[in-house]
Amino acid sequence: MIKLTNISKSFGKHEVLHRINLTVEKGEVVVILGPSGSGKTTLLRCINYLEKPNEGQIEIGDFNLDYKQANKKDIHNLRQRSAMVFQHYNLFKHKTVLENVMEGLIIVQKFSADAAKQKSIEMLEKVGLGAKLDAYPSQLSGGQQQRVGIARALALNPEVILFDEPTSALDPELVGEVLDVIRKIAKEGITMIVVTHEMGFARDVSNHVVFMDEGIIVEEGRPQDIFGAPKEERTKQFLKRITSEWAYSI
pLDDT digits 0-9 by tens, 81-102:
999 999 888 899 999 999 999 9
Say which DSSP state 217 is in.
E
Q: Express each pLDDT in 199-235 by its tens digit.
A: 888 988 999 999 999 999 999 999 999 999 999 999 9
Instruction: Please state, in angstroms and rounded to a whole number, the distance separating the CA atoms of residues 139 and 95.
Output: 12
Q: Express each pLDDT in 141-186 by its tens digit.
A: 999 999 999 999 999 999 999 999 988 888 888 888 899 999 998 8
What is the dihedral angle through the alpha carbons of 227, 199, 176, 92, rounded to the nearest 10 degrees?
Answer: -130
pLDDT at 244: 59
| Number of domain units in the chain | 1
The pLDDT of residue 248 is above 50: no
Average pLDDT of the residues of the chain: 92
pLDDT at 172: 82
pTM for the full predicted model: 0.91
For residue 163, the domain's CATH number is 3.40.50.300
Taking CA atoms, 46 is separated from 66, 72, 112, 151, in Å, by: 12, 15, 30, 22
Among 250, 234, 245, 232, residue whose Cα is nearest residue 34: 234
Q: Report strand pairing: 55-60 vs 82-85.
A: unpaired
pLDDT at 113: 95
Choose between 247 and 150: higher pLDDT. Answer: 150
Rounded mean pLDDT of 36-46? 95
Residue 219 lies in domain: 2-248
Say which DSSP state 229 is in.
S
pLDDT at 88: 85
pLDDT at 243: 62
Rounded mean pLDDT of 68-82? 91
